Amino acid sequence: MKILLDTHLLLWVAAEPDKLPRSALAEIENADNHLMFSAASLWEVPIKRGLGRADFTEDVRLLRRGLLDNGYHELPVTGEHVAVDGLPPDDKDPFNRILIAQSIVEGITLLTVDELVAAYPAPVRPFLRGRLAVQRVLVACTSVRLCSTAILPCQSVVVEERLAVIAS
């Protein structure tokens, strides 16, 4: 399965693996998973550091090289990703919105520890450290505007909501 890690998970993998929820670590260490990171996450680090965020201190060049050297694959941001329309305005963070759009367009599961990202109607797997959370799962990609892999154009996105306890 292709897995896209959100920026916090990438930073924790690289510098603070003890912060990773055990279930996220199991997904990351699963040899059957194809691990990916977004160029948007690399862009996010210096921007958030410049805004004074203490949790975004990694050197982006070293982070990228370390990820590539450890078998991660880089996902560039394309016009198709930024053209995704119809995402709910749940989160104003443009980096989160890009990661969500990439997961939808590419059909990749996005691993996240962010509650706002977990609430999007997209292929997201949240790791919210033992909390009861609404997990929204993209059941069918049914809008050409939201997913280039739709076989037949339809009218809307079908999302299944279920309550899940996300173990840490």
Q: pLDDT value at position 135?
A: 40
List pLDDT tens digits, range 111-154: 999 888 888 878 899 887 544 333 433 333 333 333 333 333 33
List pLDDT tens digits, range 85-105: 877 776 678 898 899 999 999
Q: Would you list the DSSP string of 69-120?
A: HTT-EEE---HHHHT-----TT---HHHHHHHHHHHHHT-EEEE--HHHHTS
Q: pLDDT value at position 36?
A: 97
pTM: 0.74
CA distance from start to end of the chain:
21
Q: pLDDT value at position 90?
A: 65
